[in-house]
């Protein structure tokens, strides 16, 4: 199956291995990622101001590219996925907002939510199927893994619909599929401090420490995430166990890469 792929700007610089492993694992699993041409930054956060449309235009252009190709859109970064999914929801359900955005773009092809948006993890679960992923595992993981969701993949739950925002299991299911042992811990869906790290580093340090200490206490030998900002905050603020992207964990099991970088 083919997907239009929105990697986002961070995966082109600071998180290149997130992107590379996503592409390599997709090939092994039999689906194709077709990168959006000339994409721009998604904006990093979905602003809730009712009269703000400029920061949504990049997401709409990506959605329109998928609509034109007649393919679903897939992302791997939690922040990008959150912005694109919420923007798509607004274009589909808020006619005033949609009219303003379409009027601004004004290219003769209005968008009203025609594109199906997936997170890469949803593709694995709902389209490829974890059974097929398991068939491709060559190097089963033998470790305790803490899945860290953070905020953006799950909330707002009624819009994102990725998993249960209070007790998500999609990454735990992947970990089991790859031969690992998921550990359950209380901070797995709590905020790491997010962008507050820019204005209040001490607060972000406190939040991040609470996350990785919670995972360690539960027995995690490694933490996996889908968010470059979460990984940055956890590693910058002292996590003394590896923090990897979930695609890196997949590459370990499917390809045998040892990429803790």
Tokens 């539960």, residue? Answer: 218
Q: What is the CATH number of the domain that holds 164?
A: 3.40.50.11810
Instruction: Show the tokens assigned to 255.
Output: 């390809």
Q: Cα–Cα distance between 180 and 224 in angstroms, integer? A: 12
- Same-domain status, 9 and 108: yes
pLDDT on residue 258: 61
For residues 13 and 68, membership in a common domain is answered with yes
pLDDT number for residue 72: 98
What are the beta bridge partners of residue 244?
224
Q: What φ, ψ does residue 42 adopt, rounded to 5°?
A: -70, -15
The backbone region for 122, taken as left when phi is positive above 0, alpha when psi lies in -120 to 50, beta otherwise, is alpha
Query: Does residue 216 share a domain with residue 151?
Result: yes
Single residue among 120, 151, 172 that ends a domain in this structure: 120
Flag whether pLDDT at 260 surpasses 50: no
Q: Which phi and psi (to 5°) does residue 119 adopt?
A: -85, 150
pLDDT of residue 261: 41
Measure the CA–CA gap between 94 and 9, rounded to whole angstroms: 27
Q: For residue 197, is it within any domain?
A: yes
CATH number for the domain harbouring residue 69: 1.20.1050.140
Residue 51: the pLDDT is 83
């Amino acid at each position: 199956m083919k997907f239009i792929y929105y990697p986002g700007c961070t995966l082109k610089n600071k998180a290149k291995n997130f992107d590379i492993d996503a592409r390599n694992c997709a090939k092994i699993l039999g689906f194709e990622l077709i990168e959006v041409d000339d994409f721009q930054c998604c904006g990093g956060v979905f602003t809730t101001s009712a009269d703000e449309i400029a920061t949504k235009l990049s997401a709409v252009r990506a959605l329109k590219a998928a609509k034109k190709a007649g393919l679903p859109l897939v992302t791997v970064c939690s922040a990008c996925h959150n912005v694109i999914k919420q923007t798509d929801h607004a274009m589909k359900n808020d006619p005033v907002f949609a009219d303003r955005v379409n009027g601004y773009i004004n290219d003769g092809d209005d968008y009203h939510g025609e594109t199906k948006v997936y997170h890469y993890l949803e593709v694995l679960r709902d389209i490829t199927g974890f059974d097929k992923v398991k068939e491709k595992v060559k190097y089963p993981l033998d470790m305790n893994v803490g899945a860290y969701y953070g905020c953006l993949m799950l909330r707002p739950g009624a819009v994102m619909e990725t998993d249960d925002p209070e007790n998500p299991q999609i990454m735990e299911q992947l970990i089991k599929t790859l031969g690992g042992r998921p550990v359950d811990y209380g901070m797995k869906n709590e905020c790491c401090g997010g962008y507050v790290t820019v204005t209040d580093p001490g607060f972000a340090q406190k939040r991040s420490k609470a996350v990785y200490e919670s995972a360690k206490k539960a027995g995690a030998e490694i933490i996996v995430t889908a968010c470059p900002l979460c990984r940055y905050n956890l590693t910058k603020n002292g996590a003394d166990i590896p923090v990897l992207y979930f695609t890196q964990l997949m590459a370990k099991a499917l390809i045998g890469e040892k990429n803790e970088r």
